[in-house]
């Protein structure tokens, strides 16, 4: 499994606009081979920003890389950054390959 994460520092007061942008976009992730799941996570707040992370799980790193080169990726990211500023700087990408996984999904 490959985990692709981006951290976003969202300007205080712009959280709702940021969340709506994500919820309303057509990510088309389910069209891609190897896509497993996606989460948008809201994290801690400071006086200046709220931290968010997008968390996408792929079967393999190659599946993720293929997503980044796909028509679906371009469509999902079209117009990013072209509206009112929401971010304090660019997203910070982190990619991880799974070494061990334990799950109890039925308990969720």
pLDDT given at position 82: 61
CA distance 19 to 36: 21
Whether the predicted pLDDT of 27 surpasses 90: no
If pLDDT is split at 50, 70 and 90, which confidence band does 79 have? low
What is the pTM (predicted TM-score) of this model? 0.84
Strand runs (DSSP E) across 12-91, as ranges? 35-45, 49-58
Whether the predicted pLDDT of 1 surpasses 80: yes
CA distance 60 to 38: 15
> Bigger pLDDT: 23 or 84?
23
Cα three-residue angle 30-42-76, rounded to 5 degrees: 35
Q: Tens of pLDDT along 31-70?
A: 899 999 999 999 999 999 999 999 999 999 999 999 999 8
Asked whether 38 and 27 are in contact (CB, 8 A), the reply is yes
């Amino acid at each position: 499994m490959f985990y692709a994460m981006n951290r976003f520092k969202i300007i205080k007061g712009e959280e709702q606009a940021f969340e709506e942008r994500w919820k309303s976009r057509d990510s088309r992730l389910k069209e891609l081979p190897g896509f497993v799941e996606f989460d948008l996570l809201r994290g801690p707040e400071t006086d200046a920003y709220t931290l968010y992370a997008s968390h996408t799980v792929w079967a393999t790193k190659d599946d993720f890389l293929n997503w980044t080169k796909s028509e679906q990726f371009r469509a999902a990211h079209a117009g990013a950054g072209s509206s009112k500023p929401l971010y304090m700087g660019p997203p910070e990408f982190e990619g991880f390959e799974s070494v061990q996984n334990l799950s109890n999904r039925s308990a969720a």
